[in-house]
Amino acid sequence: MKVPVLRIPFTDDDRAFMRAGIDEILNSGMLTQGKHTERFEQLFRELTGARYSIAVSNATAGLEIILRALEVEEKSVIVPTNTFMATAFAVIHSGNRVIFADSDPRTLCLDVEDVRRRIAPDTRAVILVHVGGVITPAVHDLKRLCDERGLHFIEDCAHAHGCALAGQQAGTFGVAGAFSFFPTKVLTTGEGGMITTDDEGLYRRALMIRNHGKNPACGNRMSEMGHNHRLSEFTALVGVQQLARAHTIIDERRRVARFYDKSLRGMAGARPLELPEDLQSSYYKYPVYLDETIDRSRLKRVLKEQYGVSLTGEVYADLCHTEPVWQTHTCCGRRRTNGATPCLHGSACNGTASAADFPGAEYISRHHVCLPLYPDLDEAELTHVVESLERALSESGGD
């Protein structure tokens, strides 16, 4: 039996809905920012409970738009080093400097005390990433810290569609959140993103930045330094289909997670990440910590080659501050030239993105794997994954 990294199930009804929708779009001549985009945004507001939502080209663009709408420029923004580099790139492309912070292995998310330690005089925002679909209970402490220091608290919700902590949805804890609809995500449109916020001023500025800076109050003349971060109607149509089935998709992911929770209990060599009691996760990932004696590379190779089980990517195996881009660029995105490091922040940049070690993030990066998790995994496949993992663990110990 083979269990792939991912399958994206579309039913016959899903396909019929999208075929009809494509015909409608083509007949209308409205190929972007039409009624399907409006419907997509409306359904996402209903899912999250946010007052406003803005469909954009991707989540990276969403984070950049949020920072621009908040007028954060030539400042520093704290992000976890345990995230996808897109979080850092959004900071840099908005004209700011990135400061990396450590993460807590218990939650995969930002360590509050490390964030406190790394706040610089020019820091204006903190971005919390809900890694793997985990909203850390420290979210409230981080929000209080940001309020005390006058910092914007922003959420990277790329992994967190439908996730809630004590009933409060991801994307509603900070001033704004950005979601991704990349193919691997809980809900997907292929590409695409969504901003959520309760701030009307941020919402109206984001709408303009998304659309080349056009200002309706000025007859659609450009009053913002905008981009083309619009979403096509075809992409929005898939989003409408996904949101119509969102609760079913999330329930299916939770079913798979419950199977793993029960089956992995007491397994030698591996322990699932223990989630907060009041977290309702949609399980973008199912992380499992390995004993330090386990060779992760060998384990993954054995699972794939001997048992046909392909594991998904970790969250994350490569930390942002270790990426080779910093060999040629400063942490505000300036390219080094002839040994010089021209930087928006002068000596504050120091040419590197890292100022200290990150023990929590380093532990996370070295010691976990993520099991296959998507809606149509059946019980036979799940049993095969668990049994294969148990066998592979016994074959992958240290020498």
Domains and CATH numbers, the chain: 12-245 (3.40.640.10)
What is the mean pLDDT of the segment spanning 354-370? 91
Q: What is the mean pLDDT of the chain?
A: 95
Q: Range with the lowest mean pLDDT among 95-109, 142-156, 288-302, 339-353? A: 339-353
* Secondary structure, 3-state, 104-118: CCCCCCECHHHHHHH
CB 15 within 8 A of CB 213: no
Q: How far is CA 228 from CA 33, 249, 291, in A?
A: 12, 31, 47
> What is the arrangement of strands in the sheet containing 279-280, beginning at the earlier edge strand?
168-169, 164-165, 279-280
Which residues are within 8 A (CB) of 178 and not within 5 positions of it... i.e. 6 or more apart?
Answer: 56, 59, 60, 62, 63, 66, 90, 154, 155, 156, 157, 158, 193, 194, 195, 196
- Please tell me what DSSP assigns to residue 132: G
Q: 104 falls in which pLDDT band (50, 70, 90)? A: very high
CB 285 within 8 A of CB 361: no
CA distance 149 to 375: 42
- Please choose, from the candidates 53, 264, 34, 85, the residue with its C-alpha nearest in 3D space to the C-alpha of residue 170: 53
Q: Enumerate the β-bridge partners of residue 110.
A: 103
Phi and psi at 77, nearest 5°, equal -130, 130
Q: 229 falls in which pLDDT band (50, 70, 90)? A: very high
Q: Is the pLDDT of residue 398 over 60?
A: no
- Name the pairing type of β-strands 193-197 and 52-56: antiparallel
Chain segment 65-101, per-residue pLDDT in tens:
999 999 999 999 999 999 999 999 999 999 999 999 9
Q: Range with the lowest mean pLDDT among 17-31, 206-220, 347-361? A: 347-361
Q: Range with the lowest mean pLDDT among 134-138, 264-268, 392-396? A: 392-396
Phi and psi at 387, nearest 5°, equal -65, -40
> What is the arrangement of strands in the sheet containing 287-290, beginning at the earlier edge strand?
270-272, 287-290, 368-370
Q: In b/e form, how buried is each residue of 29-67, taking b as 16+ CB within 10 angstroms?
A: eeebbbebbebbbebbeebbebebbbbbbbbbbbbbbbb
- Please choose, from the candidates 32, 77, 28, the residue with its C-alpha nearest in 3D space to the C-alpha of residue 56: 32
Burial of residue 221, with CB atoms counted within 10 A of its CB: 0-12 exposed, 13-18 middle, 19 or more buried: exposed
CB 199 within 8 A of CB 171: no
pTM of the model: 0.96
- Please choose, from the candidates 305, 315, 314, 317, the residue with its C-alpha nearest in 3D space to the C-alpha of residue 391: 305
Q: Is the pLDDT of residue 343 over 60?
A: yes
Unique residue bearing structure tokens 């409205």: 30
Degrees, nearest 5: CA angle 53-49-80:
70
CA 374 to chain centroid, in Å, comes to 17
- Please choose, from the candidates 393, 319, 397, the residue with its C-alpha nearest in 3D space to the C-alpha of residue 359: 319
CB 359 within 8 A of CB 126: no
Q: Is the pLDDT of residue 346 over 70?
A: no
Q: What pLDDT, on a 0 to 100 scale, did the predictor assign at position 297?
A: 96
Helix (H, G, I), strand (E, B) or coil at 74: coil
Burial of residue 71, with CB atoms counted within 10 A of its CB: 0-12 exposed, 13-18 middle, 19 or more buried: exposed
Tokens of 100: 């990396």
